[in-house]
Structure 1
Amino acid sequence: MFPKWKNYYANLYSSSPDVADYIWNNFDRLYEETAKFRDLLFETTLPDYVLDAVSANISILKTPTCLRLPDGTLYGFEGCHAHSGSCEGSCTHVWNYDQATPFLFPALARSMHDIYYKYNQYESGKMLFRMMMPPEKTKIIFSKNNGPTRAAADGQMGEIMRIYREWKISGDSEWLKEIWPKAKKALQYAWSSENEYHWDENCDGIMEGAQHNTLDVELFGPNAFISGMYQGALLAAYEMGKALGDPDHEKYLEIFNKGNRILNDRLFNGEYYYQAIDFRNDDRFPIDQELGEIKNQIAEGCFIDQTLAQWHASLYGLGRIFDADKHQTALKSIYRYNFINHRNHVNPCRIYALNDEWGVVLCTWPKGNSPKIPAPYSTECWTGMEYDYACRLIQEGMVEKGLEVVKAVRDRFDGKKRNPWSEFEAGNNYARSMASYSLLPALSGFRFDMTKGFIGFDPRINQESFKCFWSCGSAWGQYCQDESSARLEVCYGRIVLNSLGLPPMLVKKATEVKINGKKVEFIPREDRLEFGNHVYLEKGDILKVN
């Protein structure tokens, strides 16, 4: 028998009067903290449509898309329908895109990883990418979506990068130490002899086998989208393994380096990264006899998330996966070929943009060489992918183009044509849309590494007068700067800093640092101020740099 399932709140409170009693006794604190969060989030110099995208999609965490299991663990559908969740359950290849939960509720984000590895992982390292309810059913009773033993390559590799993110946000190396053996096993499944999908049989850092992914099909052969995620996982595993003293960490870097050369030399066609497969003649994979080619492939298409891994890597401080010049060229190609007015766009699939609305479609074939049955959903616009693409543009210095894409999305969800609090894909309040939160750290140039007591800022816009909300680990607050000074305020929680990152121009100008008016010793470095001793900041504390 499986355990009887109930919501977490049913374990906290025995009845609705109990809930009312708690609220009554804690109302002042709850209201104050909620109002402060709201005020800081909206008291910003970011464009209003960016704030709209960030704030509206945070609401997904309070919809039926998300719930908490009896022990408090976060569980999420992909989205929600009127009477049910849409596609169970904490789907790795969709929740890969969520950036709101890890920054705002990092303990909940970590709980997702803990339960993934507890119930979804086989001894071989393979992970089911969906979780059933209750979780104990996952490897016993299968759904039509989950399949009996299906693993998703992008989800499994993205999960490893997300663990790296959670470690750097929390600074909790004990948590990393506990989960590391399972994460390591998930990575090594890529080249394991037990991998029935043959992802990376020759251990060259590039996936060639059958790669199930967020397009709900298998991609075959080398492609930048999924091999990029694999590269990111290798890089994250190298860093985590090195920190934990795991002797295998050098092997991960060696595999990464081999694959990185292939990724950037062979999977770039001069305009963008693509899928290097002869989809008409490669008999290693299932050629449809009627079509005379492999179905559901990207091939030489220009795919919106061809460099998705760089979004993750840049946000988490992992460094370069895609060559900078080639990556920027690819992003410009996506802008040229995929960001379109929909008036004359032929779309036989689901309608997420129409008439004179603008949006970034998933895939185009600029050379006119589309497969007869191409990758699914190619003619659609998915807001989560549009946000991560906009963020990549911003990260690479193409801020105006990135903001243009964000505005186009929010113009579609303006409250007149569509619900501004429900960006839908496969269901309402779709989890992938929480990619929008990444716009906040991207535009503020937010960096973090709580294993070293470090956070930093380097705004991409309004540098002469900038203000925004920040959240990391157990604290959140507000950051402000002008041409000669910076101000960091903690409005909730507590944070311990050894250094504070600032734009180089402010580091050069810095003559003093004060906390609540008291001077603090510091040493200026190229892009940060290092403090002589740990700096402890709690609610109400203000650090000023002049």
Structure 2
Amino acid sequence: QHNTYDIEFYGPNPLCGIYYLAGLRATEELARVMGDDELAARCHTAFERGSARLDALLWNGEYYEQRLDDVDAHPYQHGAGCLADQLLGQLHARALQLGDLVPPEHERAALGAIYRHNFRRDFREHVNCQRSYVLNDEAGLVLCTWPRGGRPRFPFVYSDEVWTGFEYQVAAHLIYAGQAAAGLDLVAAVQARHDGVRRNPWNEVECGHHYARSMASWAVLLALSGFGCDVSAGCLAFAPALPGPFRSFFGNGTGWGSYSQHETTVGLRCELRVDDGVIQLGELRLRLTQAAESVVATHNGIAVPSTVVPAPEGVIVRFEPQQELHGGDVLAVHIR
């Protein structure tokens, strides 16, 4: 199974396996949108079987590991190692609202293990025979560690390195999992290394200058804002991960702008400002910590028909008919 480490993994492993599960769920949803119920059902069945099998086979009680009869039969494997991107497929599923690919309690535990075992605050005693993207008193997230032993004789060649793209990936996933402080800890480590004195803050080098993997930083914005969209259903979602008043950029492929909200003891006020493009909005999914009894919505100051219904961890505000928002438009919602 070829992968981003420029080598092949053999046998059941979490990186490729969970990524495959994400692909099955995405294909299932796309098939439903296109009306191909047969394909959707096939993908759903394969996902259900694959998810159960992967969890039973690869979960070691703390994180997901690669299963091989002999980890040294092939070079460049990780075996019992704690791989930083073992949950990459689940991160995609979180960002795309595809649900749980693995049991959520195992997801949270594995994220905790990655943060605990792979994040180092000092690299003075760290042995790395490959490229050094972190030095001495700097902090960073190592690609793979072996807290339970079992390091292969020839582990995959980049295992002792630190890559910003993986740090952002794990940071975003920690935020999605409700561990925002740990996630922002990883982001702070990247920023401290690229402070304009030690390294260029506009060039987070991996295998070359301006390496594309650092664009995983965008996932941190998605996680902090809890942004989600389903253009086919005219749906936008926001679930800020931090308490207090919130404001953030958003974009859904047809338009972009800013979203802001402020929740108090008497309800939630939010505002959607479109700067450019066109957005068809049929429903707005919002995180709310209190019961909702009524909603008032306005489009450029004019009241529009809307209803509010409860949803897991929040509410859904529905607009009938759909609202068409253009550049310069403002949609305001007050939920009590």
TM-score, structure 2 normalization: 0.93
CA change 1:539–1:509 in 2 (3 A) is farther
The residue that corresponds to 1:389 in the other structure is 170
Return the alpha-carbon distance in structure 2 between the equivalents of residues 519 and 343 of structure 1. 62
Matched, 1:498 2:282: yes
Superposed CA RMSD in Å reads 1.4
Q: How does 1:371-382 map to 2 (within 5 A)?
A: 371-382=152-163
Partner residue, 1:368? 149
Match of 1:531 in 2: 319
* Aligned partner letter, 2:100: R
Q: CA deviation at 1:248?
A: 2.7
Q: Relative to 1, partners in 2 of residues 1:390 and 1:414: Cα closer, same or farther, differing over 3 Å?
A: same
Write the mapping of 1:298-337 to structure 2, written as runs, cut at 5 A.
298-337=78-117
Would you identify which runs of 4 or more consecutive aligned residues in structure 1 move more than 3 Å? none
Q: Is 1:215 equivalent to 2:34 in the alignment?
A: no
* SS of equivalent to 2:159: coil
Aligned residue runs from structure 1 range 78-157, under 5 A: none
Matching residue of 2:300: 516
- Aligned: 1:409 with 2:178: no
Match of 2:58 among 247, 250, 267: 267
Return the offset for 1:509: 6.0
The letter for the 2-side match of 1:275 is Q
Pick from 27, 35, 40 the counterpart of residue 237 of structure 1: 27
1:394-473 equivalence runs, <5 A: 394-462=175-243, 464-473=244-253
Partner of 1:225: 15
Q: Which amino acid aligns with 2:184?
A: L
Instruction: Count matched residues.
Output: 324
1:276 matched residue in structure 2: 67
Equivalent residue letter for 2:190? V
Letter aligned with residue 237 of structure 1: T
Q: Highest Rg: 1 or 2? A: 1
- Pick 1 or 2: higher relative contact order, CA cutoff 8 A, min separation 6: 1
Stretches of structure 1 lacking an aligned partner (at least 5 in a row) = 1-210, 281-291
Q: Which has the higher strand share?
A: 2
Question: SS of 2:167's equivalent?
Answer: helix
Q: CA deviation at 1:401?
A: 0.3
Shift of 1:324: 0.4
1:250, CA displacement in angstroms? 1.4
On the 8 A contact 1:295/1:375 being kept in 2, the answer is yes
Partner SS, residue 496 of structure 1: strand
Closer/same/farther in 2, CA of residues 227 and 497 from structure 1, 3 Å limit:
same
Q: Secondary structure at the match of 1:220?
A: coil
**Distance across 2 between alignment mates of 1:373 and 1:294:** 9
Unaligned runs of 5+ in 2: none
Q: Which residue of 2 aligns with 1:120?
A: none
The 3 A distance-change label for structure 1 pair 215 and 521 is: same
Three-state SS of the structure 2 residue aligned to 1:513 is: strand
CA contact (8 A) 1:307 1:322 kept: no
Give, in whole Å, the separation in 2 of the partners of 1:429 and 1:481: 34
Q: For 1:359-412, what per-residue CA distance to the aligned partner results, in whole angstroms no more than 9, with x for missing partners?
A: 000000112210011012001011111111111100110110000011101111
What is the 5 A alignment of 1:473-492?
Answer: 473-483=253-263, 484-492=268-276
Instruction: Say if 1:479 and 1:506 are closer, same or farther in 2 by CA, change over 3 A.
Output: farther
Mapped contact 2:123–2:135 kept (Cα < 8 A) = yes
User: Hey, what's the Cα distance between the residues in 2 that align with 1:313 and 1:391?
Assistant: 12
The one-letter code of the counterpart of 1:269 is N
Q: Which residue of 2 aligns with 1:93?
A: none
Percent identity among equivalent residues?
Answer: 41
Q: Is the 8 A contact 2:295 2:307 kept in 1?
A: no
Structure 2 Cα separation of the partners of residues 431 and 410 of structure 1:
17
TM-score of the pair, normalised by structure 1: 0.58
Is the contact between residue 33 and residue 232 of structure 2 (CA under 8 Å) also seen in structure 1?
no
Task: Decide which structure has greater helix share.
Answer: 1
Which residue does the alignment assign to 1:355?
A: 136
Deviation at 1:279, TM superposition (A): 2.3
Report the Cα distance in structure 1 between the residues aligned to 2:81 and 2:178, rounded to whole angstroms.
Answer: 25
Letter in structure 1 aligned against 2:191 = R
How far off is 1:416 after superposition?
Answer: 0.6
| Distance across 1 between alignment mates of 2:293 and 2:6 | 52
Do 1:485 and 1:506's aligned partners in 2 also have CA atoms closer than 8 Å?
Answer: no
2:168–2:217 Cα contact (<8 Å) kept: yes
Tell me, yes or no, if the aligned pair for 1:387 and 1:435 is still in contact at 8 Å.
yes
Amino acid at match of 1:245: G
Deviation at 1:471, TM superposition (A): 1.1
